[in-house]
């Protein structure tokens, strides 16, 4: 595995030479200055500047864009190109899922359904390119999952019909078009899929929560815009390799969002809908990180509430949290913030702060990183959402001691499987494989329990690994970097983001994460699913494999 600086020495020297001074022209940009330790240069909608946060948070209610749709029958979903005012007063081309129910029109609806209900929908592709929908986190037959092989062309239709077998929780749906996932998701093809059950209702009743008022689905994304306020997505070689980063933060598609709150408990269903950005989340008043309570992760409620002051959230992951806004006085502001952290992007200690050994000034890694179009480096501290505390009745939450039952997967006699992440021929690989549509990396037996040991090389970069069709439980983290080890309060090196049922787990360089998976299902015949990195540029670049569950 090459260090990033070495990697770009081999991959980028020719390009840099051909570009002449182009690379140096970018040096001096805010991104490169931050990488070099210099001052961060502000720009419109810069999320580092707290006084920029003045746009009212968009809260999903009723019909229309991101309206809450209680599924009451078959849906006809149309993927289409449209426009949406992401920046104030400026329309941007955008991709949407459109549907109707009971005479009401919805765009990218938040679908809400009862656990155990049947979900029936057709997808019509009105785009000028292929697409398909993946129901992220849902347990479905392979044909209903949105495998890249199911991608339909323009004018095509795909029929979905499956029972929602998941427990209550915050799931989501998004495009999984073959080699087009990153661009299509970035341009809008994604939304929430909320599943209700008795446990969810018990928590809502205990805390007097109301969806869209005190229970807020919140998708966090980073975007870039051009001078006309239109979404910009033009990854070069650097960004195709490392992942596309934006520099304007959107909360529910709102840049620099602010939400008025009263001194009571709010539920925030946090979804990292970014292509590649990892967040180290905290609620901050002044310079103090305040406590918040985690009640759920990817696959619904955890067993008991856990109080923390920070948590990592990788692309594709969800974190269901309770935050008591009464920790501040009326008139004070609290920021949901991503704290600074070591991005660990293929960096190695041998290279040192100056770049490649033997190089002075700006090293090759810094020079190539400076060619990134984002002004917000991964790991830099910035704000996501401002909560402005207003006067109101003080409401103190009385949360049940037990939220839900999470039975450990029995692992005695489980098959042990090694999953090794690596890089070769300028591609990130899984067990040496790059994705080929008809190639099966390995078979598992229906009903088998397996323990996967997912290992990331020390000179790798963070990879959020996502499995289709099944959930898993994180058993252990081994060899975690200090910033993760410091948060490992939950046994076996696990952090709060590892609790409960998961479908996506962040694996840091030098780390091995062991997960238990129960491959029991009641679908007829063999079932083929994918396992991939949810850095979407990595996924489209082939960091994905097929595995088959044999009947």
- pLDDT values of the chain reduced to their tens digit, one per residue, 551 residues: 333 333 333 333 323 333 322 222 222 334 434 444 455 668 999 999 999 999 999 998 889 999 999 999 999 999 999 999 999 999 999 999 999 999 999 999 999 999 999 999 999 999 999 999 999 999 999 999 999 999 999 999 999 999 999 999 999 999 999 999 999 999 999 999 999 999 999 999 999 999 999 999 999 999 999 999 999 999 999 899 999 999 999 999 999 999 999 999 999 999 999 999 999 999 999 999 999 999 999 999 999 999 999 999 999 999 999 999 999 999 999 999 999 999 998 754 433 333 333 333 333 334 444 557 899 999 999 999 999 999 998 987 788 999 999 999 999 999 999 999 999 888 999 999 999 999 999 999 999 999 999 999 999 999 999 999 999 999 999 999 999 999 999 999 999 999 999 999 999 999 999 999 999 999 999 999 999 999 999 999 999 999 999 99
Residue 305 lies in a domain: no
Does any domain span residue 532?
A: yes
* Residue 526 within a domain: yes
Total domains in the chain come to 1
245 within domain boundaries: no
* pLDDT value of position 308: 98
- On whether residue 459 sits in a domain, the answer given is yes
Indicate which CATH number applies to the domain containing 443.
2.60.40.420
Distance CA 268, CA 371 (A): 36
Phi, psi of 58 (to 5 degrees): -75, 120
Please say whether the beta carbons of 94 and 83 come within 8 A: yes
- On whether the CB atoms of residues 522 and 454 are closer than 8 A, the answer is no
| 465 assigned to some structural domain | yes
Contacts of 512 (CB under 8 A, 6+ apart): 453, 454, 455, 456, 477, 478, 479
pLDDT number for residue 72: 96
| Sheet with strand 190-196: strands edge to edge | 68-70, 110-114, 190-196, 169-175, 133-136
Structure tokens at 167: 């427990």
DSSP string, 199-235: HHHHHHHHHT--BTTTEEEEEEEEEEE-TTS-EE---
37 within some domain = no
Is residue 484 assigned to a domain? yes
Q: What is the distance in angstroms between the CA of the first residue and the CA of the last residue of the chain?
A: 37
Q: What is the pLDDT of residue 189?
A: 98
Instruction: Label the pairing between strands 279-285 and 288-290.
Output: antiparallel
Length reported for the chain: 551
Cβ atoms of 139 and 469 within 8 Å: the answer is: yes
| Domain of 485, in residue numbers | 415-550
């Amino acid at each position: 595995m090459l260090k990033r600086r070495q990697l770009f020495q081999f991959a980028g020297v020719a390009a840099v030479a051909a570009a002449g001074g182009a690379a140096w022209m970018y040096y001096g940009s805010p991104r490169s200055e931050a990488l070099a330790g210099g001052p961060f240069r502000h720009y419109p909608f810069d999320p580092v500047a707290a006084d920029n946060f003045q746009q009212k948070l968009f809260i999903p209610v009723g019909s229309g864009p991101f309206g809450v749709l209680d599924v009451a029958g078959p849906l006809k979903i149309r993927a289409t190109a449209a426009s949406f005012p992401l920046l104030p007063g400026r329309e941007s081309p955008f991709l949407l899922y459109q549907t109707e129910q009971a005479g009401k029109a919805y765009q990218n609806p938040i679908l809400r359904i009862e656990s155990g209900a049947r979900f029936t929908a057709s997808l019509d592709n009105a785009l000028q390119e292929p697409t398909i929908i993946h129901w992220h986190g849902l347990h479905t037959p392979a044909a209903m999952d949105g495998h890249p092989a199911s991608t339909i062309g323009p004018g095509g239709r795909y029929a979905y019909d499956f029972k929602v077998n998941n427990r209550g929780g915050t799931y989501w749906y998004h495009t999984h078009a073959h080699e087009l996932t990153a661009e299509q998701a970035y341009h809008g093809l994604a939304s929430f899929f909320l599943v209700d059950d008795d446990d969810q209702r018990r928590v809502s009743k205990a805390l007097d929560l109301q969806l869209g008022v005190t229970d807020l689905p919140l998708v966090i994304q980073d975007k870039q815009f051009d001078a006309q306020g239109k979404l910009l997505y033009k990854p070069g070689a650097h960004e195709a390799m490392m992942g596309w980063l934006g520099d304007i933060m959107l909360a529910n598609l709102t840049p620099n969002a602010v939400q008025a709150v009263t001194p009571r408990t709010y539920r925030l269903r946090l979804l990292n809908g970014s292509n590649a950005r990892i967040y180290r989340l905290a609620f901050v008043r002044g310079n103090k990180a305040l406590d918040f309570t985690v009640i759920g992760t990817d696959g619904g409620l955890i067993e008991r509430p856990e109080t923390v002051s920070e948590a990592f959230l990788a692309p594709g992951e969800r974190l269901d949290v309770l935050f008591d806004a009464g920790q501040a006085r009326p008139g004070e502001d609290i920021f949901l913030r991503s704290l600074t952290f070591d991005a660990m992007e293929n960096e190695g200690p041998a290279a040192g702060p100056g770049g490649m050994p033997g190089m002075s000034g700006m090293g090759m890694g810094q020079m190539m990183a400076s060619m990134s179009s984002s002004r917000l480096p991964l790991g830099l501290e910035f704000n996501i959402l401002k909560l402005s505390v207003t006067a109101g009745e003080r409401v103190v939450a009385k949360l049940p001691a037990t939220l839900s039952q999470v039975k450990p997967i029995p692992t005695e006699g489980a098959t042990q499987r090694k999953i090794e992440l690596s890089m070769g021929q300028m591609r990130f690989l899984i067990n040496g494989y790059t994705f080929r549509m008809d190639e099966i990396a390995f078979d598992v037996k229906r009903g088998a329990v397996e323990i996967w040991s997912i290992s990331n090389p020390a000179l790798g970069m963070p990879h959020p690994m996502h499995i289709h069709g099944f959930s898993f439980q994180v058993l252990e983290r081994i060899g975690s970097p200090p910033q993760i080890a410091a948060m490992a309060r939950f046994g076996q090196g696990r952090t709060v983001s590892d609790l409960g049922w998961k479908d996506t787990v962040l694996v840091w360089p030098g780390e091995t994460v062991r997960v238990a998976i129960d491959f029991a299902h009641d679908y007829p015949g063999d079932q083929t699913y994918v396992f991939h990195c949810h850095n979407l540029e990595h996924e489209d670049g082939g960091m994905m494999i097929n595995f088959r569950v044999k009947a």
